[in-house]
């Protein structure tokens, strides 16, 4: 069975190794800093716990965010280099999809969710904003069906937007689990929806304004 390494650093650090759909090992650290310090040990420990060799990994999947800048990049950088190192295929998955899947594999929740009563997944975007996406359900193979987002918004504005549409969604803001990321990828591969695009979803432009140059004398 093919072995997959999944990495997400959109908030904390989550790394998992799966064989087929079976989870062999997962490491979750919800601390949302020190990603650069922890990423090497995290990958190495998960591989050791799974009792495999790095070279057995044939697929790498990474969470593309959305996430605020610094931590996100470290997971993506690691995934790119790891896949180059072992010659694995590299895929990207929207991190919020993993959270949505975790909610939607619960049959009770899945049975309540529809286009009219979607699942709302949010995550902290800092600066008093949240990332958000709406899901109308889950595909037969197990891929969450995103109908809007991901995007970034003020919480108040999000509530206004939902109220304006008369939506009362089911909500989830659970942490991202790398194992779910891998399972989303598996489902997307079946559905023909998988992407090798691993570009980071920052959803914000860098904070920089072109300098007009300023006078030094009055």
Please identify, among the stretches 66-74, 140-148, 152-160, 189-197, the one whose residues bind other proteins according to the rule CB under 8 A.
Answer: 66-74
* 51 binding other proteins? (CB under 8 A): no
Q: Which of 49, 81, 163, 174 binds other proteins (CB under 8 A)?
A: 81
* 25 binding other proteins? (CB under 8 A): no
Largest Cα separation within the chain, whole Å, is 73
Q: Which of 37, 116, 159, 197 binds other proteins (CB under 8 A)?
A: 37
* 50 binding other proteins? (CB under 8 A): no
Q: Which of 6, 18, 50, 79 binds other proteins (CB under 8 A)?
A: 79
Please identify, among the stretches 76-84, 93-101, 114-122, 145-153, the one whose residues bind other proteins according to the rule CB under 8 A.
Answer: 76-84
**What is the length of the chain?**
218
Q: Which residue has the tokens 């914000």?
A: 204
* 159 binding other proteins? (CB under 8 A): no
**Cβ-based nearer residue to other proteins, 57 or 194:** 57
* 54 binding other proteins? (CB under 8 A): yes
Binding site for other proteins (CB under 8 A): 34-41, 43-44, 47, 53-54, 57, 69-70, 73-86, 199-200, 202, 206-211, 213, 215-217
């Amino acid at each position: 069975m093919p072995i997959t390494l999944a990495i997400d650093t959109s908030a904390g650090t989550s790394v998992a190794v799966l064989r087929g759909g079976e989870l062999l090992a997962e490491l979750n650290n919800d601390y949302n800093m020190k990603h650069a310090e922890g990423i090497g040990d995290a990958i190495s420990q998960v591989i050791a716990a799974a009792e495999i060799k790095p070279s057995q990994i044939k697929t790498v999947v990474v969470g593309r965010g959305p996430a605020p800048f610094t931590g996100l990049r470290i997971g993506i950088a690691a995934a790119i280099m790891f896949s180059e190192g072992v010659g694995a295929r590299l895929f990207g998955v929207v991190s919020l999809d993993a959270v949505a899947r975790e909610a939607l594999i619960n049959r009770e929740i899945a049975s309540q969710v529809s286009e009219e009563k979607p699942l709302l997944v949010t995550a902290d975007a800092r600066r008093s904003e949240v990332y958000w996406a709406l899901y109308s359900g889950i595909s037969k193979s197990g891929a969450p069906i995103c109908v809007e987002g991901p995007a970034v918004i003020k919480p108040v504005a999000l509530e206004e937007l939902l109220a304006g549409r008369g939506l009362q969604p089911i909500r989830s803001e659970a942490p991202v689990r790398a194992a779910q990321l891998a399972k989303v990828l598996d489902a997307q591969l079946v559905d023909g929806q998988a992407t090798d695009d691993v570009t980071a979803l920052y959803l914000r432009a860098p904070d920089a304004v072109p300098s007009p140059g300023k006078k030094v004398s009055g």
